[in-house]
Structure 1
Amino acid sequence: MYQTDICIMGAGPGGATAALHLANKGIPSLLIDKAIFPRDKVCGDALSGKVVNELRRIASELPALFSQQQEQLPSWGIHFISPGGQQLSVPFKYNYNKVQDSPAGYISKRMHFDNFLIEQVRQRPEVQLWEGVELTQYERQQDGSFILSGKDGQPLVQAKLLIAANGAQSGFARHVAQLQQEPEHYCAGLRAYYYNVAALDQDNFIELHFFKDFLPGYFWIFPLPNGHANVGVGMLSSAVSKKKVNLKKEMLRMIATHPELQKRFANAQLIDDIKGYGLPLGSKKRSISGDNYMLVGDAGALIDPFTGEGISNAMISGRWAAEQAAACLQVQNFSAAFMQKYDAAVYNRLWKELKLSRKMQQLLNYPWLFNQVASKASKNKALAETISCMFNDLDLRERLKQPSFYLKLLFN
């Protein structure tokens, strides 16, 4: 049985980030994933400016190194298409210059982005990487440590501290940390890859379409290299149950019958299968640590409730998990009380943002208001710039919670 101070379950962006930050501190860790990389991961594939910042925190040269990868596209913003058909374009940086500015975000298939991080892990002697190893049993010992076993019950690892970064379906998060799926705070999603979708944005803006006959869900199109696009839908699980929605049928219906999509997908080809996945949303504060463990990324339900973005929040929580793990080792304290510093650090960084995104998610209950905002912004440059800044400035984004913002908008 392998013995280690720190075991990280899951080598996606959250787990890999935790391992790399620990390596930067000279702290060894064991990183385990049931898959062998490169591997596919069902996702929207968009990498925001927050992801770029987290790459830079791991190593200053990583953003530039990633920008040289063939399997990525630089992205300069988001198009929100309202239920009334108005387009609200929000650049990641207002008045950007593609020649002079570094891209604020990227789009890359998770197979390629996750493997990019794993290639960084492989270069670090401090990280022991086990691929193709599935852990399904977690037995706590009297000293608080965990013995981790595979499906056959064979003990494989004993660890003083466990960082669970093994995704939305984490058995550890459900059975040990007692994080339950709540339909009001959980989103069901589908993803498909298409080739030759017409009229993709020349600056690779990602598209979020809020069709009135699919609310409170949304339909997305994200451009990818080599003429491919990530196409999908997402909807709160509570709404899927209440309305008895068949997401796959609805997605194909919109592509076949919506006038704009019908035109754009006329010569498009579906590549591979349409795949489903779940998104545990960070629209509610949860306990994301306990005696001898921390939950990172999707395992800790940290996905943005409005945009569905999870990669950056996984990397942010992975970074803070590494900080907390270093503090635990220094004083040999792995208690739940000491681990609370991890929860505080993660929510100090993310909660304001998650709370605001929850409010924006709830705006979808008022499609007429969404239409008004988009319509006015499409005609008013100053308002468009304000909204663009709101997406990058949390203090400005607070205005979206205030009724006075909409009253001024409606009556000016």
Structure 2
Amino acid sequence: MRHVDICILGAGPGGATAALHLAAAGHKVLLIDKAVFPRDKICGDGLSGKVISELRRLGPEVLSRLSASAAQVPSWGIDFFAPNGRRLSVPFKPRYNPATDAPAGHVIKRLDFDDFLVREVRQRPEIELLEGVDVAQHERTADGRWLLRTAEGEALVSARILLVANGAQSVFARHVAGHALEPAHHCAGVRAYYDGVQGLSADNFIELHFIKDFLPGYLWVFPLPNGQANVGVGMLTQAISAQKVNLREKLAEMLDTHPALRERFRAARRLGPVRGFGLPLGSKRRPISGNGYLLLGDAASLIDPFTGEGISHAMVSGRHAADWAGRALAAQDTSAAFLRQYDAAVYRRLGQELRLSHWLQRLLQFPALFNFVANRAANNATLAETLSSMFLDLNLRERLRQPSFYVKLLFGGK
């Protein structure tokens, strides 16, 4: 059995980011994942500007390696399609020039992106990576450490502090941290890959379609290399239950019949099965730490309630988790009271944006109001820039604190 100071469960974006920051600070880390990489992860596959910012914090060479990868395409923004069909194009970067500017976003399959991060992890001698190891039991010992076991009860690791980044289905998050599945704060989705979709943006804008008969859900189309696209739908679990929606059937129906989609998908070919997944949303603030542990990313229920984007929030939480794990070890204090400062740091960074996204999510219940916001945004620089800022690492949080911002948001202005 290994005895370590820091153990991370899950080598996805949150866990890998935490491990890399800890290694850079000189800490030895044990990183465990039940999968063997490369492995697939069901996702929309978009990397927003906030992801770019987090990659840059890992080192400019990391971002350069990603940008040079043939597995990604640069993406310059988002096309929102309102229920009335109005398109609102929101660039990640105002007045961008694809010929000269560094990409403001990327689209890359999670199979490739997560493997990219794991390859970065493998280059660090401070990190020991164990793949294909499923931790099933978690026990707090009398000396304040975490004892991790397999399903058969074999003792694997004793750790002073545990960073839990093992995803939306985390047993630890449910059974130890008490994160129950709440249908009002949980989204279900299905995704498939397609080839031959017509009308994709020349600048690889990702598409979010808010279709009247599918609200409060949405359909997405994300362009990928080699003419492929990630196509899927997501809806609040509460609404799925109330409306008795079959997401797989609804996806096929909309692609076949919706006026904005049917011609574009007439000659498209689906590559592989339609796969489903669940997303615990950040529309409710939850405790994300406790005695000797920190929750990261999807395990911390930090997914954006409006867009379903979770990669950047996982990486943000990974960076802060590395910081506070290091501080806890230096202070020789891994108590819940000390680690609660991690919660404060994460919600300082993400809390106001999550609240804004929750507000936008609730707009989906009122198509006429959503149409109004989309129409206003097309002629309101402040509102359009706000939507853009949600996907960047701009100082949106400071503006959200200013009363004048809301005047401009409601009544227009620069």
TM-score by length of 2: 0.95
381, 385, 388: which one aligns with 1:391: 388
SS in 2 for 1:160: strand
Alpha carbons of structure 1 residues 148 and 62: separation in structure 2 relative to 1, 3 Å: same
Q: Distance in 1 between matches of 2:386 and 2:138?
A: 46
Q: Contact 1:289–1:342 (CA<8 Å) still a contact in 2?
A: yes
Cα deviation for residue 404 of structure 1 reads: 6.5
What's the counterpart of residue 15 of structure 2? Answer: 15
AA partner of residue 391 (structure 1): S
Q: Are 1:251 and 2:248 an aligned pair? A: no
Cα deviation for residue 385 of structure 1 reads: 6.5
Cα deviation for residue 373 of structure 1 reads: 3.0
SS in 2 for 1:345: helix
Q: Contact 1:79–1:90 (CA<8 Å) still a contact in 2?
A: yes
Alpha carbons of structure 1 residues 240 and 26: separation in structure 2 relative to 1, 3 Å: same
Cα deviation for residue 390 of structure 1 reads: 4.5
Provide Cα deviations, 1:192-234, integer angstroms capped at 9, x if missing partner. 1001111100000000000000000000000000111000000
Q: Distance in 1 between matches of 2:137 and 2:315?
A: 25
Q: Distance in 1 between matches of 2:376 and 2:332?
A: 57
Between 1:61-70 and 1:392-401, the stretch displaced more is: 392-401
Which residues of 2 match residues 330-369 of structure 1 at below 5 A?
A: 330-369=330-369
Provide Cα deviations, 1:147-172, integer angstroms capped at 9, x if missing partner. 11111111111111110000000000
Q: Are 1:288 and 2:288 an aligned pair? A: yes
AA partner of residue 187 (structure 1): C
Q: Contact 2:383–2:409 (CA<8 Å) still a contact in 1?
A: no
Provide Cα deviations, 1:233-284, integer angstroms capped at 9, x if missing partner. 0000010011111111111110111122110001111111101101110111
Provide Cα deviations, 1:303-355, integer angstroms capped at 9, x if missing partner. 01011110000000001110011111112111000101111100110001001
Cα deviation for residue 144 of structure 1 reads: 1.5
What's the counterpart of residue 239 of structure 1? Answer: 239
Q: Contact 1:78–1:91 (CA<8 Å) still a contact in 2?
A: yes
Q: Distance in 2 between matches of 1:114 and 1:216?
A: 30
Alpha carbons of structure 1 residues 371 and 398: separation in structure 2 relative to 1, 3 Å: farther
Q: Are 1:175 and 2:175 an aligned pair? A: yes
Cα deviation for residue 302 of structure 1 reads: 0.3
Alpha carbons of structure 1 residues 168 and 63: separation in structure 2 relative to 1, 3 Å: same
TM-score by length of 1: 0.95
What's the counterpart of residue 110 of structure 2? Answer: 110
Q: Distance in 1 between matches of 2:284 and 2:183?
A: 12
Provide Cα deviations, 1:368-401, integer angstroms capped at 9, x if missing partner. 12223333544x3xx2575135531345567999
SS in 2 for 1:188: strand
AA partner of residue 136 (structure 2): T
Q: Distance in 2 between matches of 1:397 and 1:199?
A: 36
Q: Contact 2:90–2:387 (CA<8 Å) still a contact in 1?
A: no
AA partner of residue 314 (structure 1): A
AA partner of residue 92 (structure 1): F
Q: Distance in 2 between matches of 1:200 and 1:401?
A: 37
Give the gaps of 5 or more residues in structure 2. Answer: 390-395
What's the counterpart of residue 392 of structure 2? Answer: none
SS in 2 for 1:121: helix
Q: Distance in 1 between matches of 2:376 and 2:318?
A: 40
SS in 2 for 1:8: strand
What's the counterpart of residue 134 of structure 1? Answer: 134
Q: Distance in 2 between matches of 1:90 and 1:281?
A: 23
Q: Contact 2:52–2:105 (CA<8 Å) still a contact in 1?
A: yes
Q: Number of residues paired by the alignment?
A: 406
Q: Are 1:260 and 2:260 an aligned pair? A: yes
Q: Contact 1:217–1:234 (CA<8 Å) still a contact in 2?
A: yes
Percent of counterpart pairs with the same letter?
Answer: 56
What's the counterpart of residue 228 of structure 2? Answer: 228
Alpha carbons of structure 1 residues 113 and 406: separation in structure 2 relative to 1, 3 Å: closer
AA partner of residue 384 (structure 2): I
AA partner of residue 79 (structure 2): H
Q: Contact 1:34–1:135 (CA<8 Å) still a contact in 2?
A: yes
Which residues of 2 match residues 43-192 of structure 1 at below 5 A?
A: 43-192=43-192
SS in 2 for 1:346: helix
RMSD of aligned C-alpha atoms? 1.8
Cα deviation for residue 405 of structure 1 reads: 6.6
Q: Contact 1:90–1:384 (CA<8 Å) still a contact in 2?
A: no
Alpha carbons of structure 1 residues 301 and 401: separation in structure 2 relative to 1, 3 Å: farther
AA partner of residue 140 (structure 1): R
AA partner of residue 68 (structure 1): A
Q: Contact 2:304–2:357 (CA<8 Å) still a contact in 1?
A: yes
Q: Distance in 2 between matches of 1:304 and 1:386?
A: 18
Q: Contact 1:282–1:305 (CA<8 Å) still a contact in 2?
A: yes
Q: Are 1:371 and 2:371 an aligned pair? A: yes
What's the counterpart of residue 203 of structure 2? Answer: 203
Q: Distance in 2 between matches of 1:162 and 1:210?
A: 39
AA partner of residue 104 (structure 2): A
